[in-house]
Structure 1
Amino acid sequence: MAENLLQAPILDPQEIIKLIPQKPPFVMVDSLHDYTDLTGITGFMVPKDNILVDEDGIFSEPGLIEHMAQSMSLHRGYQGYSSGLKKPKTGFIGAIKSVEIFRLPNVGEQLTTHVEILNEVMKVTLVTAKTLDENGLVIATSEMKTVTVD
């Protein structure tokens, strides 16, 4: 396993926003706990006012998928920041190969997501994501292709 290259976790949501192209109210990550060249661990405390939380206080399927994609975006953003980029590159989900959602989280739950880059060709990255709840139980997994556009 590669060594974590972060000197300390990034826990300030304002610092996280500088590392991703997404802006409020569409931010689905709030911390970066671990970073290597091919892996990352992100966090997200589901807020009540999140745009993808339903009226019952449940973080929706699209919210969970977007959280996993933004976890990859955060990894990519930190990588760019580390190499001297002034602003994060824009990207999007190009294809979702698989998504399994075992449980939807509630408002106030702390999510931890592990991302891993499996392959990268040109500007297309194949990545897996695994999201865990506060008890360490896997609540969702995905494999998707992300595309960087600038």
Structure 2
Amino acid sequence: MAEKLLQAPILDPQEIIKLIPQKPPFVMVDKLHDYTKLTGITGFLVPDDNILVDNGIFSEPGLIEHMAQSMSLHRGYQGYISGLEKPQTGFIGAIKSVEIFRLPKAGEELTTHVEILHEVMKVTLVTAKTLDKNEQVIATSEMKTVTVD
């Protein structure tokens, strides 16, 4: 079992923003529940006024971006505990697979589990699984992210 490196969940959205390169209105994570070297659990309460909410529904691009930002938050916390002054910038390099079983509504709380499968230089292969409040899987993905700085 991997060592948990997060003393207490980070539930303040203002603290989360310090850990990711994304800035409002393009922030799709607002909590870090758990962190180990290879895994993380993030959260996001989908606001009605989110830029990727349309007619009260969090869109497919929003859900994909949330999963990618969950990885970004994992990477950002890793940098923070390593002493980096600011989060590293990255992007989705490739999406191997995405399955969306349903789109969440504004006001729903999402919980996403990320796991690093492989890392070579600045390219990371990661899986993400997003659950609703009833712990039903609503989306999964496998993607490569690239860190650029």
Give the TM-score taking structure 2 as reference length: 0.99
Counterparts of 1:18 and 1:5 in 2: how far apart (Å)? 18
Residue pair 2:3, 2:37 contacting (<8 A) in 1 also: no
> Which residue identity lines up with residue 27 of structure 1 in the other structure?
V
Which amino acid is 1:10 matched to? I
Structure 2 residue runs without a partner (length 5+): none
Q: Separation in 1 of the partners of 2:53 and 2:4?
A: 32
Match of residue 14 from structure 1:
14
In structure 1, the residue matched to 2:147 is 148
In 2, Cα distance between the equivalents of 1:4 and 1:102? 30
**RMSD (Å), alpha carbons:** 0.4
Unaligned runs of 5+ in 1: none
Between 96-105 and 1-10, the greater mean CA deviation after superposition: 1-10
Give 2:44's aligned residue: 44
Mapped partners of 1:82, 1:58: distance in 2 = 35
Contact 2:130 2:139 in 1 (8 A): yes
Deviation, structure 1 residue 84: 0.2
The two structures have a TM-score, normalised by structure 1, of 0.99
Quote the offset at 1:45 in angstroms. Answer: 0.2
Q: Deviations over 1:34-92 (max 9, x none)?
A: 000000000000000100000x2000000000000000000000000000000000000
What SS does the corresponding residue of 1:19 show, helix, strand or coil? Answer: coil
Does the 8 Å CA contact 2:126/2:142 hold for their aligned counterparts? Answer: yes
SS at match of 2:53: coil
